[in-house]
Each structure stands twice: as C-alpha cells, then as structure tokens.
Amino acid sequence: MGKLRFVPLWLTYAFLYVPILVVVAMSFNAGTSPYVFEGFSLKWYGELAGNARIGEGLVNTLVVAAGTTVLATVLGTLLAVGLARYSRSRLLDAVSLMPAVLPDLIIAIGLLMLYTVVEFTLGLWSVTIAHTVFAMAFVAAVVRTRLTHADTSLEEASRDLGAGAVRTFVRITLPQLLPGIVAGALLAFTLSVDEFVIAFFTIGPTEQTLPIVIYSMLRVGVKPEVNALASIMLLVSFTAVIAGQRLTKIGESRRAHD
C-alpha cells in the first residue's frame, strides 16, 4: 500500500518525459518516418548540419541569446542589488518580477505596440530587447536570492575603511554574488534560446530565430531533422541548467567553508 502512493508521481514523470525520450530516440532513426523506428543511424544529424535555413536560424538565435544574456545579466544584477539594498517597497518588488509571471503573449503584444508607436525597426535588436525585458526578472530573482546569503558585515567594514559605494560593490559585493550572477546568465541564455511567442511578434519579416524555423517546419509535418534539432536543443538547455546549479552549489559550499 505504501508503494502505491508513488504511482501518481511516476505517472506524472512518464507524462512529462516519455515524449521527450521518444523524440530523442527517433532522432537516431534510420528511416524517413518520424513515428516508426527502422534502425539506428546518425544521418539526420548530418542532414541537419547541411540545412542552410536551420543554420541561419541558429546564428540568429545565438546572436539574440548572447545579447540578451549580457543585457539581462547586467540589468538584472543591478536591479537585484537596488531592490535589496536601497528599497523597501513591496510595490517595486512586485513590478520588478511582473515580466516573469505575465503571459508571454501579453508581453509580446505590448512590446509590439511600443515598437510601432516609437517606429522602432523590427529585427534581431527588437527581439533582443524584448527577451531582455523578461529575462532580467529571472536574473534579478536568482541574484537576489544569493544576496540573502551575502555577508553584509564585509560591506560595512569596507565603507568604514573609506571605500566608496562603487568600490565596495566591485571588490566586496560582486565576488559574493558571482555564482548567482553566472547562474542567472545561464538561465537568461536558456530562456532566450527556447523562447518563441515574443520572438514571433517582435522579429522582422526577413529574419527568423530557431524556434520560429522549427514551427514553420512542423506546420507541414514532423520531419526527422526536427527530432535531431530538438535533441540538440534539449542537450544545450540541460547542460546550461546543470551548470547553473553546480555553480550555485559551489558558491554556497565555499561560503560555508569560509
């Protein structure tokens, strides 16, 4: 009877992860059918490498993700420090996290209207700014969590010894926050690479990010190259998340040791 209570848990895991495992398995299918496994082969990964459209979408996605990571990390870190050290307003806390909880569709429509009003040309830059808007909220949340474990006595000692606010932040606060900052940067990169809705609304007519390319390919049916591409994206996302968790744990273990 005791083991039966875990049945709903394992059914939930199966519902979430079995389709993903099927996609990964079918990416190694030797046949052309995306539903019937006809033998092991790596040919679809070779086909994927030779697809110019996917290659262009990948380059666009990496450009947007790199820009988003830099901007969201800098702005999110400053936002977290400002809210934690210089503000006690719950309203500001709620507003800063709002992009993380709002539906992507609302953010996309709002930004598209803003770009239209200010006559901002849609392209990779518009997508980068749009991704930064919601990714910086996640970075701020991660860094702020790290701030709760920072030793404020070191900052006070630095100021007592004559160091200014900027020097104290660079020499004392920033090293303590570094694991959280790196974890937030990896999270921002992963969110930008996988994001579809906001990019679909805010990108120009001549560019496409990788999720948009995948969507356009799926409209005419699931192709084996899509399974291979999904497997690679899954590996990249999984690696980024694991790296972020490891860096956070390393930072916490060093702090505990000190």
pLDDT (tens digit, 9 = 90+) per residue, 100-137? 888 888 999 999 999 999 988 898 999 999 999 989 99
Q: Check residue 171 and report its DSSP letter.
A: I
pTM above 0.75, yes or no: yes
Q: How many CB atoms lie within 10 A of CB 168?
A: 18
Where are the domain boundaries for CATH 1.10.3720.10 in the chain?
59-257
More confident: 107 or 31: 107
Question: Over 60: is that where the pLDDT of 245 sits?
Answer: yes
Cα dihedral angle (13, 19, 20, 22), rounded to 10 degrees?
Answer: 130
Region of 162 (left: φ > 0; alpha: ψ -120 to 50; beta: rest) is left
CATH code of the domain occupying 59-257: 1.10.3720.10
Among 18-27, 151-160, 232-241, the range scoring the smallest mean pLDDT is 151-160
Among 18-27, 138-147, 229-238, the range scoring the smallest mean pLDDT is 229-238
Mean pLDDT (the chain) is 81
